[in-house]
């Protein structure tokens, strides 16, 4: 499980006072409140728990949303290859779920992926309709072996995961290049491509 987000995490109030929000990259002092937020949801079985050691290693992946000195939400952009990254560890404080925090986090992480010139970003979610509003599409989860073996294997729902994979293509010109093979698995799903070796690469080296 990578996300605590539900539909109300993307809703923004149309009336009443709005919170003054700051979106920024996380720093080391953010580790305790991020852990409190993520592990609070982990205790409910909706996210994987994190340790201080894990957060110290991954803190550069994280973006946070603050109001003053209070952390309202967090999310991470985790790189899997020079072309692909995952948006994960999305969490929004219960009291802030009607301020559009989830939407702000997703947009900030997509922008970061674009700044790193990634070809695409993916995520696992229950709220596909909201990810679709920011340019993602449902994809076949079976074509993400790195994710499955590296992270999902320790999830208690590994054998019966009900999250849905979504993908946003960021650089269509590179995504459609000859070095990628893109074969939709059916009419409604997009299959994430894998590098296709050229004929030259397949030739055996001289003895």
Which uninterrupted H or E stretch holds 109? helix 101-115
Topology of the domain covering 7-173? Aminopeptidase (3.40.630)
pLDDT over 70, % of the chain:
65
Over range 133-138, report the average pLDDT: 88
User: pLDDT tens, 157-194?
Assistant: 555 566 788 889 999 887 654 334 444 444 444 444 44
Domain segments of the chain: what residues?
Answer: 7-173
Tell me what pLDDT residue 152 has. Answer: 62
Q: Is 180 exposed, middle or buried (0-12, 13-18, 19+ CB in 10 A)?
A: middle
Dihedral, 167, 170, 171, 174 alpha carbons, nearest 10: -30
d(CA 53, CA 198): 41
Round the average pLDDT of the chain to a whole number and report it: 77
Are the beta carbons of 12 and 98 closer than 8 angstroms?
yes
pTM, two decimal places: 0.76
Dihedral, 96, 102, 103, 108 alpha carbons, nearest 10: 120
Q: Is 111 exposed, middle or buried (0-12, 13-18, 19+ CB in 10 A)?
A: middle
pLDDT tier for residue 150 given thresholds of 50, 70 and 90: low
* Signed CA dihedral, 96, 102, 103, 105: sign only: positive
For 51, list phi and psi in degrees, rounded to 5. -105, 165
d(CA 174, CA 156): 36
Sheet holding 84-92, edge to edge: 22-25, 62-67, 70-79, 84-92, 120-125, 164-169, 137-138
Dihedral, 146, 24, 43, 32 alpha carbons, nearest 10: 110
């Amino acid at each position: 499980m990578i996300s605590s987000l539900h539909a109300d995490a993307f809703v923004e109030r149309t009336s009443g006072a709005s919170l003054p929000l700051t979106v920024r990259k996380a720093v080391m002092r953010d580790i305790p409140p991020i852990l409190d937020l993520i592990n609070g949801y982990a205790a409910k079985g909706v996210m994987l728990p994190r340790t201080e050691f894990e957060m110290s290693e991954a803190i550069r992946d994280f973006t946070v949303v603050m109001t003053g000195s209070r952390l309202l939400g967090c999310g991470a952009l985790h790189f899997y290859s020079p072309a692909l990254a995952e948006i994960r560890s999305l969490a929004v404080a219960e009291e802030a779920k009607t301020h559009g925090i989830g939407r702000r986090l997703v947009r900030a992480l997509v922008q970061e992926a674009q700044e790193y010139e990634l070809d695409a970003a993916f995520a696992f979610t229950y709220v596909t309709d909201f990810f679709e509003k920011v340019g993602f599409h449902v994809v076949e989860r079976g074509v993400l072996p790195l994710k499955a073996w590296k992270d999902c294997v320790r999830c208690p729902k590994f054998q019966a995961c009900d999250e849905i994979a979504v993908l946003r293509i960021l650089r269509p010109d590179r995504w459609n290049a000859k070095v990628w093979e893109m074969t939709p698995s059916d009419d409604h799903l997009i299959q994430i491509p894998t590098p296709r070796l050229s004929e030259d690469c397949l030739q055996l080296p001289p003895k």
